[in-house]
Structure formats: C-alpha cells, structure tokens
Structure 1
Amino acid sequence: MSATAVSVKPKIILTEDWTVVVLGLAIIAISLSGLIIPAPAFGWKTGGDLFEKVFNAENGWVIFQQFLFTYFFAIAGTLLTGKSLKAILPGFPVVFVLTLGALLLAGNKTLKDLNLEAVIFSLGIGLLIGNLVNLPDWLRSSLSTELFVKIGLVLLGTSVIFGDVLKAGSLGLIQALVVVLSVWYFAFWVCKKLKVDDELTMMLSSAVSICGVSAAIATSGAIDGDSKKLSYVISLVLITAIPMMLLMPYAADYLGLSPQVTGAWLGGTIDTSGAVVAAGTLAGEEALKISTIVKFSQNVLLGVAAFAISVYWTYTKNNSETVKQAKPSASVIWERFPKFILGFMAASLIFSFVLNAEAIDSVKGSLKSLQGLWFALAFTSIGLETRLADLLNADNRKPLYAFLIAQTFNIFITLAIAYVLFD
C-alpha cells in the first residue's frame, strides 16, 4: 500500500457505541441549552390538508431544520467511526426523503386511527424499494442502521421518567415486574424448545414481554443483532398488535371485567403504546388511564432489561466461542458491553431526577420527534438492505410459532395477574 493511500485512510476516533453515546447526549445538551429543533406537523386528512398543514412554508422550514440537524449528526457519526464520507453525503438525503414519505403516510388520519406506527411505513417503503430496485453501491454503503437506531435509543431515555410511574401507582409497577419476568422466561423457554436461534430468541422474548418495538430494538442493540431478524420481529409485533387492539376490549366486556382490570390487562399485554391507547379508548376513560400506567411501567423496565440482557449475552457468547474456554473477566464483559445503554440510562436519570418539570416540558416535544425520526430513518435503512426472500423462508416458521405461543401465554397470565391486583 502506498504512503498516499495510508495518509487518506479515515481514522477511527470512537467505536460506534461510544459514538452514539456522545451524539445522543450532545443532542440532548443542545436542546437543553436552548437550541430546540421544532417538531414538524405531519397530520392530514385530505389532499387539501396535506398542502395546507404539512407542505406550507413554515412547516417545510421546520422539516428542513430537522434534515440539516440529523444530517449534521449522521456526518459526525461517520467521521467519529472512521467511515468514508463519500457514501453518507449523497446517501443520507435519499434515506431522509424516503423516511419523510413514511412519516406523511403515518400522519394520514385514516391510517393514524388504526394506530399504525411510522416505523412500519418506513420499513415497508424500504422493503418495497430494496426488493424491486437494484440499489447502487454508494446507497447501500451509506445505510448506517445501527448508528441511527442507537441514537434514537439514547433519546428514548428522556421519555422514561421513573418518578411519573411511582406517582401513578405501585400496582402498575408490580404488575409490570411480574408480567415481564414471567412472560420473558416463558418466551425464552418456548424459543429454546423450538430451536429458534439465540439472537431471535432474545429479541422475541423481549418484544413480547416488555414493550414491543422499543424492546426489540434495544435488545438487538444490546446483542449486536442481525437487522434482518430485527425487522422480522418488529413486523410480528406490529401485525399482531392490530387484532389484539380491536378484539381485547370486546373480550373484556364479554367477560364482565371491571375498567381497572381491563386497563391493566390491555396495558400489560398489547405490545405497542399506540395500540394500548387505542384499545384503552375503546374500553373507556378509566381503562385508558390504567392501561397507560401499566404500559409506561413496562417501558421503565426497558433500561434494566437491556442492561441485564447485554451482560448475559457478552458473558455467554464469549464462553461459547471456544470449548472449555475460561469464564470471561470483568474487563472482557466491559469491552463487549453495549455502551449505548449507558447513554440511555444517563438520559433517563437526568430527566427523572435532575431536571425540573419546566425544563423537561420545554424540550420533550422536540426530543420525542427527533427520537421517532432516528428510528424511522433506521427502519427505512433496514428495509433497503433486507431481502424479503430471506424473511419468508421456511426457517422463519419456528420463530412465528414461538411468538404466537408466547403472546397467547402473555394474554392469559396477564389477565390473571391484573385480576388479582386490580379487582
């Protein structure tokens, strides 16, 4: 290799995990300093609404601000991790435009009433284009899925406020603990019995027991999971949430459950927050309140669960690489531990115990919008790099069976726990 070639080779400054911690906390610090990126409006009902409410000059400028902001951090992440700018410079704008299309679809009132999350549209658009169009190499190499997902996860920590849950009620937290532990271990056991691979086992168990999409994403990050497997799990979560959202309120009414028990059942069973709100609304105001508390209590456990999963994964993975290998030391576990979890926990602790309510209220809308945008960008990227043929082969039947069995167990065990605690 020539001296010239060596001199232009990008230098790795930070690992990807430390990079997302730095970038995620930097975004939070910038917002708290007063430079707040507004959340754009994407809600519309008719074609006229689309141009009046979304494509007006003011909202267009807000969207452009978000683009410049995320573009800057995507470039910063590329530089910090020592990757080439040649791909990300033209590639990120393409991914952003595709993601913008997904956010517009998710903002349509008819689709929004079905509580379909933006990530399902971004994943769908990515899958459609990625499987119908032969993507150029520069676009494929620009897909920084892990970077986008983990920045979103650090920002997710700002919405996990421990104090809110404790004030809302101890019963919701108790139910969340019992449900998460029992359903997670049952799902893990079923996956092992059906010989589902280890990565899918961890993602499926977390998704069905904790908080659906966010839990699957966090677990995938904690174990450095395959993005194709993650998209498969997310698809299962979102697809099964729809019939549960529509049918469970009527089942609760048929069974004669009280609003409190109904809410606890819905919040502990349905895997996405949007679907929980929709189901709770169908069941009544009191059921909506309890379901929200229980679901939020499960969300709070996400950081603890991701931490435990990451320690378990690094410990067992290292031990399985070589027969009769010595147990890994603390330094090895630390080396493999996903550092983005530290960013998530730091954000959660700061917003739970350091900042006052006024400071939180001033930035929560902006950070929530940016968090959703990073996740949507990540799932557009996942779709673009995923081949449907790989997802629909016969090997994926066992994970499907495992998920459905675990979800059925979740429905019945959560009903029993909700009845004991809230009746």
Structure 2
Amino acid sequence: MTLRHFGWFLGAGFGVQGWGDPTYGIGYDWKQPTIYQDAARLFERSGLDALIIEDGVAVPDTYRGTAEVNLAAARFVPKHDPIPLVPYLLGATERIGIVPTLSASFTEPYTAARLLATLQHFAHGRLGYNVVTSGSDLAAQNYGLEKQTEHDLRYDRADEWVEVVKALWRSWEPGAVLEDTERGVYADFTKVHRIDHEGRFFRVRGPLNALPPAEEPVMVQAGASGRGRTFAGRHADVILALASTPERMKAHRDDIRAVAAEQGRDPDALTVLFVVNPIPTANAEDTAAVRARRSELTQAAIDEQLQSISYLTNLDFARFDLDAPLPEVATNSNQGTLDNFVRSAPAGSTLREILAARAKADGLAVIGTPAEIADALGTLGEASGADGFLFTGQVHPAHVHRTLDPLVPALRDAGLLRRELGDGGLRANLADF
C-alpha cells in the first residue's frame, strides 16, 4: 500500500471531552491544557501530521427553538477559544502541526495576520490555520449582524481576507531585519512597506508591525459547496473534506485539483484529507455488536442527528414530519453539509429514512479489527486518490487510546502510516510524499 497522511480533527473543538463516556472527567479537566497536550504527544508519536481544532462562536438553539438538547448533551457548546491553547500544544510537542480555526467572517485580517505570525514564531514552522466563513445566523448575531451574509458573498470576502493577510506577511521584504549592532540598525526601513489595500470589504494600510514568519503557516479549508471548493482550490494547502463513498471522495478531490490548476497552482501541492471515524473492534462478533448499536434509531439518536444538521444549516428540522418525504430545502449556511445529508438516502425518502440510512451506513465510520480498518483505508485511498485521512473524535483519553493504540501498529504494518514525523515543520511533512 501507499503511504498516506493522517491527522486528527478535533470536531468538538476546545470543548467538553468525553461526555457520555463512563470515564468522563476521571483524571482530567477538559478546561485545562493537560488533556490536549497528552493527546498531541500521542498523535505525534503515532506519526500524525497535524491536530486540527474546530471552533464556533454561538450557543445553538435552532433545533426546536431551544438550546436544551445541545446543552444537555454538550454538543457544540460550551466551547473555549482554541487560540490560547495553541502555545501549550506547541510547547508539549516538537514535530506535529497545530492548526486552530479562525473565522474570516469575524476576524479582521490585520488581527489574523499579526496573531498567526506571532504563533508561527513559537511554532518554528509547525503552525496551520483552518479558515472558515461562519455560516451560522446565531454567530452573526453575536457580532452585530441580524443574519449571516449571503453564502457566496462570504467567500468573496474570504478571498479578499486571504489576500490581505498574505500581503501583510509579505510587507517586510526578505533581508529587512539586519540586527546590525555596530551601526545600531535593527531593520532596513526601505524594505518594510505599506500595503495600502483598498478593496470591496477591507481597507488596510499596513505594514504589519509584528515580525512576519520566515515560512507562512499552512492554510486548511473545508469548503464543500461549489463556491467553497473554488475558494479552497484557490488558496488552501490542505483540504479538509467529508464524503461518504469512494466515488464522492474522488469527485471532490478531482474538482478541487481542477480548480487549483485553473488558478495556476500545482494540484500536487494540495493535500486532500477525508474525515473518517475509525472504530477498532476485537473480532467479528464485536464488530457486529458495534454496528447494531450504532444503527439503532432511538429518540436520542434522532435528536443527535437533527440538532446537528439544524445548527449547521440554520434550518429547524424539528418542523418536518419524520414520516413524510423531506421537502426540498435550501440554506444560506453550510450548503455542502446539507447536500450530503439529503443525499444519504434516495430522492423522495422520508426524514426518518434519511436518518436511518445515515445511522446504518454512518459514512464516516470505519468499523472492524485494526487490520480490517487498515485494509479498508488502504482500499479507500486507492479508489478515491485521497492523500490521507483525518481521524475525527474527541481527545478524551479513553477514546484516543482505544482508537490509536491498536490502530497505529496495523496502519504501519500495512504501509500506510509513517514511522515518525520529520523535523522540518508542517509544510515539509506534508511534502514528504
């Protein structure tokens, strides 16, 4: 098999870890850095390229018009800002990439450029940043807006946001810093320039007053809609992607690479990573039991799916009859997420049938013995052309160890997972193969 890149996508963000597990809270406090540092060390020893930390800035109350379900189950909330966590993770590791999420909708480009430049100096080339466009109306209302900006317009703004951030990083020419103690000249003023950006969305004078990084952080992006894929193909170094079949994975990767080529980029410079949820089991009997348990469509399972899709799409799915065909729906929020949800079952299916299909198939889950999971990921990689995979899940210690302890040896035995990371930084590690 071919070596693939692997990472860990912390979909719960800097939030509650392990709620619902019998060992929740034993020996750790999710609000403190230690649990994340321990997980990052394990990821690094395992040869994972990066830890990507999701984020959000709202308390969801779309489903049934209340935050009850989300708060009771600690889903999407509470959530702390991941940026202050980054230095702790960098200090606890040496080679793995650390990738917090930043919203291009709610973070001014000067603030982002300065913040990321500072962190990249700490990181010695190991920093990434996951750019999102924040489709939630609830989030928008926390920043003075009545509702979120129109979908494609958010990406137009994000295009300009990336342009300004990178212009600020490049406002200091190479060689601008002299540190000439004899002449008493720290930096050559002729090599530090204003950017004088005046665009559709931003006016930024520049130059950046922080010292730009020697190597720009790696940009991660997860746009799944047509406009989102255009944005990702134009700018991103790493694509965080969700797809439930090898055919959809291949189509997604091919589309992103085609956009990159149209923009004059080398498609091979992009690393497309698909999110999967590996669930190692002991044997066939255990596998069958896990599948049966996960396919049960209990009321709790229904609530879990519907509160999630409601929040991510700004549509309250509680208003739809579970046993009637789901009507045509559209959103100004996460269009790719909605499309994946609707396409989980044949056209004309009821909402209950869609939920049942998702519970049964659980497109992100790969269930089996460690050797079976390794074989499945190898086959999936060959069929889709995926550059690698992002394991999704919390960093609750029991979950992390029961996933990686059996799986890492199997992936290495299969020739899929590297033995150790290089020490040249995140960008260099991604370029290794």
TM-score (norm 2): 0.29
Structure with more helix by fraction: 1
Q: Which structure: greater strand fraction?
A: 2
TM-score (normalizing by structure 1): 0.29
